[in-house]
Amino acid sequence: MLKIIGLAIVLITALPAHAIDGTALLKKVDRNLNPESYESYRKLINIEPDGRKKEYTLFTVKKGVDKVASLFLAPASEKGRSTLRLGDNMWLYIPNVGKPIRITSIQSVVGGVFNNADILQLDYAAEYDVEKVEEKGGEYLLYLKAKTKTVAYDRLKIWADKGKNLPTRIECLTEANLLIKTLYFKDIKDFGAGLTRPAVIETDSPLYKGYKSVMIFARIKKKDFKNEVFTLTFMPNMESLR
């Protein structure tokens, strides 16, 4: 029998490290990238292996987690076209054609490496569940799995800056973890009203060797819209929002 007299023994139990709430972190990344409802002006540039470029200017509006619409302002050959996304459903309106045409997430209305899902981007948390989060130096690495089979990418790996909670790089993958494309987030800019985020997103793909596409944001502004803006009947009237 062991007797300890006049000695206070304090047992310190090691507590588990604080687990990172991946869902909360992803939602924070979403909000730091964009207000929940907003309008934006941006340019899309497709660059071919020989250096040739094709540029598009888009006015885009978003409401909530599942409504996005865009209007082509340039080039002249595309002016007046508009796109609409409601959840997994997408349409393209072409003046003088008649009713809007159904399009898919993996197609691209502008060609290049960005597809329609990239151009009409919803919140990541609306389409993906977080499987796990790792800490990599000054960044978090989030492993995401698509909630449904209709999402453009089965899996995403998002590297996010710990201090800013903004993505620096996203790898878009198949179910078998084959790389489809990589998105690079660059040029942090203050857009006003507390929104500081990357102004440039570049992408390349092993499936399109030598090709690159760039998305440059000129303005992003928090703004609310009526639900009627995000309907098929409103697609010809998007110019009225500017």
Q: Which helix (H) or strand (E) holds 22?
A: helix 22-33
**Which CATH class for the 22-241 domain?**
mainly beta
C-alpha 96/C-alpha 98 separation (Å) is 6
- Tens digits of residue pLDDT in 205-238: 999 999 999 999 999 999 999 999 999 999 999 9
For residue 151, the model assigns a pLDDT of 93
Residue 191 has pLDDT above 70, yes or no: yes
Residue 7 has pLDDT above 60, yes or no: no
C-alpha 43/C-alpha 134 separation (Å) is 33
- Tens digits of residue pLDDT in 90-120: 999 999 887 999 999 999 999 999 999 999 9
Q: Which among 56, 100, 55 has a CA at the least distance from the CA of 82?
A: 100
Instruction: With beta carbons less than 8 A apart as the criterion, state whether 134 and 140 touch.
Output: yes
Instruction: With beta carbons less than 8 A apart as the criterion, state whether 26 and 124 touch.
Output: yes
Q: Which two tokens mark 224?
A: 């609310």
For residue 20, the model assigns a pLDDT of 85
Residues 146-168, mean pLDDT to the nearest whole number: 96
Residue 5 has pLDDT above 60, yes or no: no
For residue 18, the model assigns a pLDDT of 56
Q: What percent of the chain has pLDDT over 70?
A: 93
C-alpha 98/C-alpha 111 separation (Å) is 22
